[in-house]
Amino acid sequence: MNNNFATDTTFDEHIHEVVGYLSRSKSENEKMSYLDEYQSKLVDLNDSNKKTIIDKLLSDMTALGGGSWSG
């Protein structure tokens, strides 16, 4: 078993999986807008966009804990 997930999938696939998970609790309209926001960043993927995507995802994930995580 390969425990290094980074070699099995691409950056795009990882982002789609996380964004899909984070969008589950949203209404249909919010979900589509949320998914589109990330999809537009993935179209022209470069190091700057990767950093923007990761920063936004970290912010979105931190909000899941209601601010209880103080990284």
Residue that the structure tokens 């999986």 belong to: 17
Are 57 and 21 in contact by the 8 Å Cβ rule? The answer is: no
Q: Which amino acid is at 61?
A: M
**What's the pLDDT at 66?**
59
Amino acid 17: pLDDT: 92
Q: Distance (Å, rounded) from C-alpha 9 to C-alpha 71?
A: 27
pLDDT along the chain (71 residues), means of 10: 58 91 92 91 87 92 66 52
Residue 2 confidence (pLDDT): 47
What pLDDT is attached to residue 35? 92
Q: Which amino acid is at 57?
A: L
